[in-house]
Amino acid sequence: MQYIINQFQLANAVQAPQPIKVGFINDSFRVMAAEQGGKSYFLQRINHNIFRDVEGLQNNIQRVTEHIRHLLTEAGETDIDRKVLQLVPTHDGKLYYQTPEGDYWRVYVLIENALSYERIDAHSAYLAGQAFGNFQCQLASIDTDTLVESIPDFHNLAFRIQQLHEALANDAAGRKAATQDIADYLLERADAMCIAEKLYADGKLVKRVNHCDTKVNNMLFDQDGQPMCIVDLDTVMPGFVLSDFGDFIRTAANTGAEDDPNLENIHVNMEIFEAYAKGYLSTATFLTDLEKSLLPYGCKRMSFMQAVRFYIDYLNGDTYYQIAYPEHNLVRTKAQIRLFEEQEAVEEQMNAIIAQAIWLTKLVSTNSLKASK
């Protein structure tokens, strides 16, 4: 392990890498400075069965982080190293190191004294909404053609449905028969849930550069509770902004856990939804009226897509997501379906909150226009 970290241009001596649990895809390690005051690092083995184009993936991250760094510098921000991730190159200037065995590794500078949460309160949700809105504004000035899809068709629901059909046909783990009710449930709703894909095909909905994994725990907060940095940039690529909005709500406004075995725990926390929506709409100034009106659908879409993805992995015999116990992907599927149902039940309320938030944003911008005259 020491031999791997030594391939990178580190500023100082470091201690042995310590494994930490971050996400379900890559393997992560914290690498602390050998002496106080030195730089510490975040080392990851990239799951290249999932990210097949590691070069493209790393170039995306470099492109996005450099762009944000530039915007922050222009805006006169301070403490920029804590506000945007920084990749560390290898001694020969590459953004990753490939071992002779074919594993891919990368290193970021570790952002210290940062906090991430599985749950947040309404006040932090408002701030997080503003921060994600700002993040998308920053990404808006990146030409979509300069980024690759680090996982092709990643948030394409029509493609995920096709994968579901394939997984059912193959029934690789022999789990189909016992879960036929889940397959039926998802397939019955599949067409109606592909609204975004249809609107895109009709030229009505655009794709923008998105994060594509806006789980609540992918935002770092500072010690004073202010959002500081958005992390996990593996999936930054062109997509529908509704997905980014929806994924935050899927994770932050669920009163239960993503894999809650007790479905009774799962409800939509409307206070969090409202706070996040208001924060987000106050900064995501580029949204079209269509995009705004589709935000509640974006929430349902992400819970539904996540249910489909977990169920596919269950059918395939758990080849994609890391699991903690044999039926984990089935438990996750059921929990996401319940969340989807809970979101359907409050859809009208979500629509009303979005309409009110839009009205508020307009009021604030009219008032500030008057004040500046």
Considering only residues 5, 10, 14, 25, which one is a binding residue for ligand GN1 as defined by CB under 6 A? 25
Stretch that binds ligand GN1, among 19-27, 62-70, 98-106, 336-344 (CB under 6 A): 19-27
Size of the site for ligand GN1 (CB under 6 A): 11
Please, which of residues 189-228 interact with ligand GN1 by CB under 6 A?
213, 215
Considering only residues 15, 24, 32, 347, which one is a binding residue for ligand GN1 as defined by CB under 6 A? 24
Instruction: State whether residue 106 is helix, strand or coil.
Output: strand
Tokens 């920084």, residue?
86
Closer to ligand GN1 by Cβ: residue 69 or 215:
215
CB 167, min distance to Mg ion, A: 22
- Between CA 300 and CA 318 the distance in angstroms is 24
Structure tokens at 220: 């770092």
Closer to ligand GN1 by Cβ: residue 248 or 361:
248
- Between CA 8 and CA 219 the distance in angstroms is 26
- Compose the 4-23 pattern: x for residues touching Mg ion by CB under 5 A, - for all others: -------------------x
Decide: is 23 part of the binding site for ligand GN1 (CB under 6 A): yes
Count Cα neighbours of 358 within 13 Å in the Cβ-side half-sphere. 16
Nearest Cα residue to 108 out of 229, 251, 237:
229
Decide: is 306 part of the binding site for ligand GN1 (CB under 6 A): yes
Closer to Mg ion by Cβ: residue 23 or 296:
23
CB 31, min distance to ligand GN1, A: 20
Decide: is 247 part of the binding site for Mg ion (CB under 5 A): no
CB 42, min distance to ligand GN1, A: 14
Decide: is 313 part of the binding site for ligand GN1 (CB under 6 A): no
- Between CA 151 and CA 145 the distance in angstroms is 15
CB 330, min distance to Mg ion, A: 22
CB 22, min distance to Mg ion, A: 9
Closer to Mg ion by Cβ: residue 209 or 294:
209
Cβ within 8 Å of residue 96, ≥6 positions away: 46, 54, 55, 58, 90, 104, 105, 106
- Between CA 140 and CA 346 the distance in angstroms is 31
Decide: is 159 part of the binding site for ligand GN1 (CB under 6 A): no
Decide: is 258 part of the binding site for ligand GN1 (CB under 6 A): yes
Please give the helix or strand (H or E) that residue 210 lies within, else none.
strand 208-210
Please, which of residues 36-65 interact with ligand GN1 by CB under 6 A?
50
Cβ within 8 Å of residue 273, ≥6 positions away: 249, 253, 299, 350, 353
178, 326 in Cβ contact below 8 A?
A: no
CB 317, min distance to ligand GN1, A: 17
Decide: is 258 part of the binding site for Mg ion (CB under 5 A): no
Count Cα neighbours of 367 within 13 Å in the Cβ-side half-sphere. 6
Decide: is 318 part of the binding site for ligand GN1 (CB under 6 A): no
CB 25, min distance to ligand GN1, A: 4
Structure tokens at 96: 């990753």
Closer to ligand GN1 by Cβ: residue 118 or 184:
118
Decide: is 232 part of the binding site for Mg ion (CB under 5 A): yes
Helix %, strand %, coil % for the chain, to 5?
A: 50, 10, 35
- Between CA 267 and CA 14 the distance in angstroms is 45
Q: Which residues of this protein are in contact with ligand GN1, per CB under 6 A?
A: 23-25, 50, 213, 215, 232, 234-235, 258, 306
